[in-house]
Amino acid sequence: MATIRDIAKKMGLSVSTVSRALNDNQRISIRTRKRVKRIASEMGYQPNYNARNLTNREANAVGVVFPVNNRVIDNIFYVGLLRGINEELTSRNYVLSVAIGNSTEQVLENVKSMITRAQIKRFILLYSHINDPVIELLRHQPVDFVTVGKPAAGQKWPYVDNNNVKAGADGTRLLLNNYHAEHPIFAESPNGWPYELDRREGYLREISQTDRKPVIFSVPDQDNTALDQFIKDHPQIDGVVATDDYTGLKLYRRFKTLYPNKEINVVGYNNSLPNELIDQHFHSVDLHPAEMGQAAVQLLFEKETGSARVKHTIVAHSFFN
Protein backbone atom coordinates (compact mmCIF):
# COMPACT_ATOMS: atom_id res chain seq x y z
CA MET A 1 0.00 0.00 0.00
CA ALA A 2 1.49 3.31 -1.06
CA THR A 3 1.77 5.99 1.64
CA ILE A 4 2.29 9.73 1.40
CA ARG A 5 5.97 9.02 2.11
CA ASP A 6 6.19 6.95 -1.05
CA ILE A 7 4.60 9.73 -3.05
CA ALA A 8 6.91 12.32 -1.50
CA LYS A 9 9.99 10.26 -2.26
CA LYS A 10 8.96 9.60 -5.83
CA MET A 11 8.19 13.27 -6.49
CA GLY A 12 11.11 14.75 -4.58
CA LEU A 13 8.74 16.59 -2.28
CA SER A 14 8.36 16.53 1.47
CA VAL A 15 5.76 14.52 3.26
CA SER A 16 4.18 17.74 4.53
CA THR A 17 3.70 19.09 1.05
CA VAL A 18 2.13 15.89 -0.18
CA SER A 19 -0.22 15.79 2.77
CA ARG A 20 -1.22 19.39 2.25
CA ALA A 21 -1.62 18.94 -1.49
CA LEU A 22 -3.93 15.97 -1.02
CA ASN A 23 -5.96 17.97 1.47
CA ASP A 24 -6.20 20.89 -0.98
CA ASN A 25 -4.38 23.24 1.33
CA GLN A 26 -4.33 26.76 -0.15
CA ARG A 27 -0.67 27.20 0.71
CA ILE A 28 0.34 24.69 -1.93
CA SER A 29 0.37 25.91 -5.54
CA ILE A 30 -2.45 24.66 -7.68
CA ARG A 31 0.09 23.11 -10.04
CA THR A 32 1.71 21.08 -7.28
CA ARG A 33 -1.64 20.00 -5.88
CA LYS A 34 -2.69 18.71 -9.28
CA ARG A 35 0.59 16.88 -9.85
CA VAL A 36 0.52 15.29 -6.42
CA LYS A 37 -3.04 14.11 -6.88
CA ARG A 38 -2.25 12.66 -10.27
CA ILE A 39 0.78 10.75 -9.03
CA ALA A 40 -1.11 9.61 -5.94
CA SER A 41 -3.86 8.15 -8.03
CA GLU A 42 -1.33 6.57 -10.41
CA MET A 43 0.34 4.90 -7.48
CA GLY A 44 -3.04 3.72 -6.21
CA TYR A 45 -2.63 5.70 -3.02
CA GLN A 46 -5.33 5.14 -0.41
CA PRO A 47 -5.31 7.18 2.79
CA ASN A 48 -5.07 5.20 6.00
CA TYR A 49 -8.07 6.21 8.06
CA ASN A 50 -6.61 4.94 11.32
CA ALA A 51 -3.55 7.12 10.97
CA ARG A 52 -5.59 10.11 10.01
CA ASN A 53 -8.05 9.58 12.83
CA LEU A 54 -5.27 9.20 15.36
CA THR A 55 -3.77 12.51 14.35
CA ASN A 56 -7.11 14.26 14.12
CA ARG A 57 -8.29 12.81 17.42
CA GLU A 58 -11.56 12.13 15.66
CA ALA A 59 -12.89 9.19 13.68
CA ASN A 60 -14.38 9.63 10.22
CA ALA A 61 -17.40 7.67 11.37
CA VAL A 62 -20.97 8.39 12.34
CA GLY A 63 -22.56 6.27 15.06
CA VAL A 64 -26.07 5.19 14.12
CA VAL A 65 -28.13 4.18 17.15
CA PHE A 66 -31.12 1.83 16.94
CA PRO A 67 -33.93 1.97 19.48
CA VAL A 68 -34.07 -0.87 21.98
CA ASN A 69 -37.74 -1.74 21.88
CA ASN A 70 -39.14 -1.66 18.45
CA ARG A 71 -41.78 -3.56 16.55
CA VAL A 72 -40.33 -5.78 13.87
CA ILE A 73 -42.37 -4.01 11.24
CA ASP A 74 -40.46 -0.80 11.98
CA ASN A 75 -37.25 -2.42 10.82
CA ILE A 76 -38.29 -1.67 7.27
CA PHE A 77 -38.16 2.00 8.12
CA TYR A 78 -34.75 1.70 9.78
CA VAL A 79 -33.12 0.03 6.82
CA GLY A 80 -34.48 2.78 4.59
CA LEU A 81 -32.83 5.30 6.88
CA LEU A 82 -29.56 3.35 6.77
CA ARG A 83 -29.54 3.52 2.98
CA GLY A 84 -29.97 7.27 2.96
CA ILE A 85 -27.45 7.81 5.72
CA ASN A 86 -24.77 5.71 4.09
CA GLU A 87 -25.25 7.32 0.72
CA GLU A 88 -24.44 10.70 2.21
CA LEU A 89 -21.63 9.33 4.34
CA THR A 90 -19.72 7.60 1.55
CA SER A 91 -19.69 10.80 -0.49
CA ARG A 92 -18.04 12.44 2.52
CA ASN A 93 -15.56 9.59 2.97
CA TYR A 94 -17.21 8.72 6.23
CA VAL A 95 -18.10 5.32 7.60
CA LEU A 96 -21.32 4.08 9.21
CA SER A 97 -20.99 2.42 12.63
CA VAL A 98 -24.02 0.78 14.18
CA ALA A 99 -25.01 0.66 17.85
CA ILE A 100 -27.79 -1.86 18.42
CA GLY A 101 -28.64 -4.01 21.41
CA ASN A 102 -31.31 -5.72 23.45
CA SER A 103 -31.20 -3.45 26.46
CA THR A 104 -30.62 0.21 27.17
CA GLU A 105 -27.50 -0.70 29.12
CA GLN A 106 -26.01 -2.52 26.16
CA VAL A 107 -26.68 0.32 23.77
CA LEU A 108 -25.42 2.87 26.25
CA GLU A 109 -22.16 0.98 26.68
CA ASN A 110 -21.91 0.66 22.93
CA VAL A 111 -22.28 4.41 22.45
CA LYS A 112 -19.88 5.25 25.29
CA SER A 113 -17.27 3.05 23.71
CA MET A 114 -17.81 4.75 20.36
CA ILE A 115 -17.15 8.11 21.97
CA THR A 116 -14.17 7.29 24.15
CA ARG A 117 -12.43 4.48 22.31
CA ALA A 118 -13.37 4.94 18.68
CA GLN A 119 -13.39 8.74 19.00
CA ILE A 120 -16.65 9.10 17.12
CA LYS A 121 -17.99 12.64 17.37
CA ARG A 122 -21.21 12.47 15.39
CA PHE A 123 -24.32 10.39 15.97
CA ILE A 124 -27.68 9.79 14.40
CA LEU A 125 -30.44 8.29 16.53
CA LEU A 126 -33.11 6.44 14.59
CA TYR A 127 -35.67 7.45 17.19
CA SER A 128 -36.53 10.31 19.50
CA HIS A 129 -37.74 9.19 22.88
CA ILE A 130 -38.32 11.25 25.95
CA ASN A 131 -35.93 10.66 28.85
CA ASP A 132 -33.75 8.41 26.72
CA PRO A 133 -30.45 7.69 28.49
CA VAL A 134 -28.51 7.67 25.22
CA ILE A 135 -29.78 11.12 24.33
CA GLU A 136 -28.99 12.32 27.86
CA LEU A 137 -25.45 10.99 27.47
CA LEU A 138 -24.90 12.62 24.09
CA ARG A 139 -26.19 15.97 25.29
CA HIS A 140 -23.48 16.11 27.91
CA GLN A 141 -20.61 15.01 25.71
CA PRO A 142 -18.63 17.08 23.22
CA VAL A 143 -20.34 15.39 20.28
CA ASP A 144 -22.99 16.31 17.73
CA PHE A 145 -26.15 14.33 17.17
CA VAL A 146 -29.37 14.40 15.21
CA THR A 147 -32.50 12.40 15.94
CA VAL A 148 -35.00 11.01 13.48
CA GLY A 149 -38.21 12.41 14.86
CA LYS A 150 -38.51 15.70 16.65
CA PRO A 151 -37.93 16.02 20.38
CA ALA A 152 -40.94 16.12 22.66
CA ALA A 153 -42.24 19.49 23.77
CA GLY A 154 -39.79 21.28 26.05
CA GLN A 155 -36.74 19.52 24.64
CA LYS A 156 -34.45 20.96 21.96
CA TRP A 157 -31.89 19.34 19.70
CA PRO A 158 -31.31 18.99 15.97
CA TYR A 159 -33.64 16.59 14.22
CA VAL A 160 -35.13 15.50 10.95
CA ASP A 161 -38.80 14.73 10.67
CA ASN A 162 -41.84 14.83 8.45
CA ASN A 163 -44.54 17.41 8.82
CA ASN A 164 -46.82 15.09 10.70
CA VAL A 165 -49.57 17.59 11.28
CA LYS A 166 -49.82 17.99 7.54
CA ALA A 167 -49.50 14.23 7.06
CA GLY A 168 -52.43 13.72 9.43
CA ALA A 169 -54.47 16.37 7.69
CA ASP A 170 -53.64 14.98 4.24
CA GLY A 171 -54.67 11.50 5.29
CA THR A 172 -57.93 12.81 6.68
CA ARG A 173 -58.70 14.80 3.54
CA LEU A 174 -57.93 11.78 1.41
CA LEU A 175 -60.62 9.84 3.25
CA LEU A 176 -63.11 12.69 3.15
CA ASN A 177 -62.65 13.80 -0.44
CA ASN A 178 -61.42 10.79 -2.40
CA TYR A 179 -63.17 8.01 -0.55
CA HIS A 180 -66.16 9.96 0.68
CA ALA A 181 -65.89 8.77 4.25
CA GLU A 182 -68.68 10.09 6.42
CA HIS A 183 -67.31 9.03 9.79
CA PRO A 184 -63.53 8.87 9.81
CA ILE A 185 -61.89 8.25 13.16
CA PHE A 186 -58.31 8.59 14.36
CA ALA A 187 -56.63 5.48 15.77
CA GLU A 188 -53.49 5.87 17.83
CA SER A 189 -51.15 3.71 19.88
CA PRO A 190 -51.06 3.81 23.67
CA ASN A 191 -47.54 5.26 23.53
CA GLY A 192 -48.30 8.84 22.66
CA TRP A 193 -45.24 9.37 20.46
CA PRO A 194 -44.77 12.94 19.31
CA TYR A 195 -45.55 12.02 15.70
CA GLU A 196 -48.91 10.59 16.74
CA LEU A 197 -49.88 13.73 18.57
CA ASP A 198 -49.12 15.68 15.40
CA ARG A 199 -50.99 13.35 13.10
CA ARG A 200 -53.92 13.49 15.46
CA GLU A 201 -53.75 17.28 15.46
CA GLY A 202 -53.89 17.23 11.66
CA TYR A 203 -56.91 14.95 11.81
CA LEU A 204 -58.67 17.17 14.33
CA ARG A 205 -57.97 20.24 12.24
CA GLU A 206 -59.54 18.78 9.12
CA ILE A 207 -62.50 17.30 10.95
CA SER A 208 -63.21 20.62 12.65
CA GLN A 209 -63.62 22.20 9.22
CA THR A 210 -66.61 19.97 8.61
CA ASP A 211 -69.67 19.48 10.79
CA ARG A 212 -68.44 16.11 12.01
CA LYS A 213 -67.50 15.11 15.51
CA PRO A 214 -63.95 13.83 15.94
CA VAL A 215 -63.47 10.34 17.37
CA ILE A 216 -60.13 9.22 18.79
CA PHE A 217 -59.45 5.64 19.75
CA SER A 218 -56.32 4.28 21.39
CA VAL A 219 -55.72 0.74 20.16
CA PRO A 220 -54.38 -1.45 22.97
CA ASP A 221 -51.15 -3.33 22.27
CA GLN A 222 -52.16 -6.87 23.10
CA ASP A 223 -55.75 -7.37 24.07
CA ASN A 224 -58.27 -7.29 21.23
CA THR A 225 -61.43 -7.23 23.33
CA ALA A 226 -61.38 -3.47 23.85
CA LEU A 227 -60.81 -3.03 20.12
CA ASP A 228 -63.73 -5.31 19.27
CA GLN A 229 -65.93 -3.50 21.75
CA PHE A 230 -65.02 -0.17 20.21
CA ILE A 231 -65.87 -1.41 16.74
CA LYS A 232 -69.21 -2.77 17.90
CA ASP A 233 -69.97 0.52 19.61
CA HIS A 234 -69.14 2.44 16.44
CA PRO A 235 -70.59 0.46 13.54
CA GLN A 236 -70.95 3.63 11.52
CA ILE A 237 -67.22 4.28 11.01
CA ASP A 238 -66.16 4.09 7.38
CA GLY A 239 -62.70 5.60 7.52
CA VAL A 240 -59.64 5.39 9.75
CA VAL A 241 -56.60 7.60 9.98
CA ALA A 242 -54.18 5.36 11.85
CA THR A 243 -51.03 6.50 13.54
CA ASP A 244 -49.05 3.89 11.60
CA ASP A 245 -49.57 0.94 9.24
CA TYR A 246 -49.45 -1.53 12.05
CA THR A 247 -52.20 0.10 14.07
CA GLY A 248 -54.19 0.72 10.91
CA LEU A 249 -54.01 -2.82 9.66
CA LYS A 250 -54.86 -4.23 13.06
CA LEU A 251 -58.03 -2.18 13.21
CA TYR A 252 -58.83 -2.83 9.57
CA ARG A 253 -58.66 -6.58 9.99
CA ARG A 254 -60.74 -6.68 13.15
CA PHE A 255 -63.30 -4.48 11.47
CA LYS A 256 -63.50 -6.68 8.38
CA THR A 257 -63.78 -9.74 10.56
CA LEU A 258 -66.73 -8.29 12.40
CA TYR A 259 -68.32 -6.62 9.38
CA PRO A 260 -67.13 -8.46 6.28
CA ASN A 261 -69.45 -6.58 3.98
CA LYS A 262 -69.00 -3.04 5.20
CA GLU A 263 -66.66 -0.82 3.25
CA ILE A 264 -64.02 1.04 5.18
CA ASN A 265 -60.93 2.92 4.04
CA VAL A 266 -57.79 3.16 6.12
CA VAL A 267 -54.80 5.48 5.92
CA GLY A 268 -51.63 4.36 7.64
CA TYR A 269 -48.08 5.68 7.71
CA ASN A 270 -44.67 4.31 6.76
CA ASN A 271 -45.52 2.34 3.67
CA SER A 272 -44.18 -0.64 5.54
CA LEU A 273 -46.36 -3.37 4.08
CA PRO A 274 -45.78 -5.25 0.87
CA ASN A 275 -48.52 -4.57 -1.64
CA GLU A 276 -49.55 -8.19 -1.55
CA LEU A 277 -50.72 -7.77 2.01
CA ILE A 278 -53.07 -4.91 1.50
CA ASP A 279 -55.97 -4.14 -0.76
CA GLN A 280 -57.27 -1.03 -2.43
CA HIS A 281 -58.95 0.13 0.77
CA PHE A 282 -55.68 0.38 2.64
CA HIS A 283 -53.60 3.45 1.90
CA SER A 284 -50.21 4.29 3.26
CA VAL A 285 -48.25 7.49 3.44
CA ASP A 286 -44.64 7.11 2.36
CA LEU A 287 -42.40 9.02 4.77
CA HIS A 288 -39.35 8.69 2.51
CA PRO A 289 -36.95 7.23 5.05
CA ALA A 290 -33.95 7.31 2.70
CA GLU A 291 -34.40 11.04 2.22
CA MET A 292 -34.72 11.46 5.95
CA GLY A 293 -31.43 9.62 6.42
CA GLN A 294 -29.71 11.86 3.90
CA ALA A 295 -31.13 14.95 5.55
CA ALA A 296 -29.92 13.75 8.95
CA VAL A 297 -26.34 13.49 7.68
CA GLN A 298 -26.52 16.88 6.01
CA LEU A 299 -27.67 18.41 9.27
CA LEU A 300 -24.88 16.69 11.14
CA PHE A 301 -22.25 18.16 8.86
CA GLU A 302 -23.77 21.59 8.54
CA LYS A 303 -21.61 24.39 9.87
CA GLU A 304 -22.93 25.99 13.00
CA THR A 305 -25.24 28.81 12.08
CA GLY A 306 -24.74 30.58 15.36
CA SER A 307 -28.44 31.26 15.45
CA ALA A 308 -30.37 30.06 18.46
CA ARG A 309 -32.83 28.28 16.19
CA VAL A 310 -32.80 24.50 16.52
CA LYS A 311 -31.49 22.99 13.31
CA HIS A 312 -33.94 20.67 11.67
CA THR A 313 -35.13 19.44 8.30
CA ILE A 314 -38.66 18.55 7.28
CA VAL A 315 -38.89 15.84 4.65
CA ALA A 316 -41.97 15.77 2.46
CA HIS A 317 -44.23 12.73 2.55
CA SER A 318 -46.25 11.35 -0.32
CA PHE A 319 -49.12 9.00 -0.93
CA PHE A 320 -48.76 5.45 -1.98
CA ASN A 321 -51.69 3.44 -3.19
Partner DNA sequence: CTGAAAGCGCTTACAG
Binding site for a copy of itself (CB under 8 A): 1, 46-51, 53-54, 59, 61, 64, 66, 71-73, 75-76, 78-80, 82-83, 86-87, 90, 93, 95-102, 106, 109-110, 113-114, 116-119, 246, 249-250, 253, 272-274, 276-277
Q: Quick check: 315 and 269 in contact, CB under 8 A?
A: no
Angle at 119 between CA 113 and CA 125, to 5 degrees: 65
Residue type, 232: K
Residue type, 108: L
**Residue 249 binds: one of DNA, a copy of itself, none (C-beta under 5 to 8 A by kind):** a copy of itself
Question: Minimum Å distance from CB 120 to DNA?
Answer: 15
CB of 144 to DNA, least distance (A): 18
Provide, for the chain, the percentages of residues in helix, strand and coil under a 3-state DSSP scheme, each rounded to the nearest 5. 45, 15, 40
Of these partners, DNA, a copy of itself, none, which one is at the site of residue 276 (CB under 5 to 8 Å by kind)?
Answer: a copy of itself
Give the shortest CB-146-to-a copy of itself separation in angstroms: 17
Which residues, at least 6 apart from 283, have a Cβ–Cβ distance to it below 8 Å? 171, 174, 265, 266, 267, 268, 319, 320, 321
Helix (H) or strand (E) holding 98: strand 95-99
Residue 146: which H helix or E strand, with range?
strand 144-148
Q: Tell me the closest approach of the beta carbon of residue 110 to DNA, in angstroms.
A: 19
What does 23 bind: DNA, a copy of itself, none (CB cut-off 5 to 8 Å by kind)? Answer: DNA
| Interaction pattern, residues 44-63, with DNA; x per rule: CB under 7 A | -xxxx--xx-xxxx------
CA 62 to chain centre: 14
Residues that bind DNA (CB under 7 A): 1, 3-5, 12-17, 19-20, 22-23, 27-30, 32, 45-48, 51-52, 54-57
